[in-house]
Structure 1
Amino acid sequence: MASANKTKPEPKSVAAFLAELDAPNRANEGEALIDLFARVTGQPPVMWGPSIIGFGSYHYRYESGHEGNAPRVAFSPRKAKLVCYLKLESAGAGPLLARLGKHSTGKGCLYINKLSDIDLGVLEELVTDSYQEMATAYPT
């Protein structure tokens, strides 16, 4: 039996989540990212689990039978770094990442120390590309 998805939409408001953050700067950066992600996606922010702010959603199903829903793009204003959950495997992501500024990446994650370290215009391009790729790969 497949385990239940731990990351799912939550009723908690995004504003309440940001208000509870220990670092006021993270709340300000979270607001800036909400504006960027919402503008790009045309979707409202939704809490996914206790700390992820997602935009749009898609349904996936693995060959193992595990399936669930996830945000098309998302971010989390964590204490150590801002984490953006994006599709970074696309051919266009490499050149954009080279122009982004100070960051690191993991599988599907873009880690940013603070927004002032990066070019927000390039981040907007990355979010746009990622959202469009996810919409193509997982049409509703």
Structure 2
Amino acid sequence: MLCILEWLASQPTLDPRRVMVAGLGQAGIVALCAAGLFDDRISAVLTLSMPVTYVTETAYPAGTRMGLLAPGILRLGDIPQLAALSAPRRLILADGTTAQGKKLTEKYLKEAFAFTRDMYKLYKAGNKLTLTEGTRVEDLVAGV
């Protein structure tokens, strides 16, 4: 990710203040981590169909990357805490899922990311956080 961000910053026709990362499914967690680590290089984050928590009562689905399951991560926080690292930048969390990929309702999505919403409010950036379900990707990106 760092190499990509450095390459983007070196492009004369791109505005480095307008770099957005996006992640589909489990890659949404990678996008959140990148935003947390490279806060000076990423201006917005979009996740689509990302798990809303690491916590699960059943096995993770086939294809789950072990790099996402950092040992001891839940002692420090869960996915809503990772999402809060994006504050006060633009963050769109769309179509959240369970760890097994089952789609969640917008109501559950809002409950799951209450911590994230509270952190955005502390930064007086509540208007930069969007939690939604059933929206077309094109419409989400157009709003950034």
Q: What TM-score, normalized to structure 1?
A: 0.30
Q: Which has the higher helix share?
A: 2
Q: What TM-score, normalized to structure 2?
A: 0.29
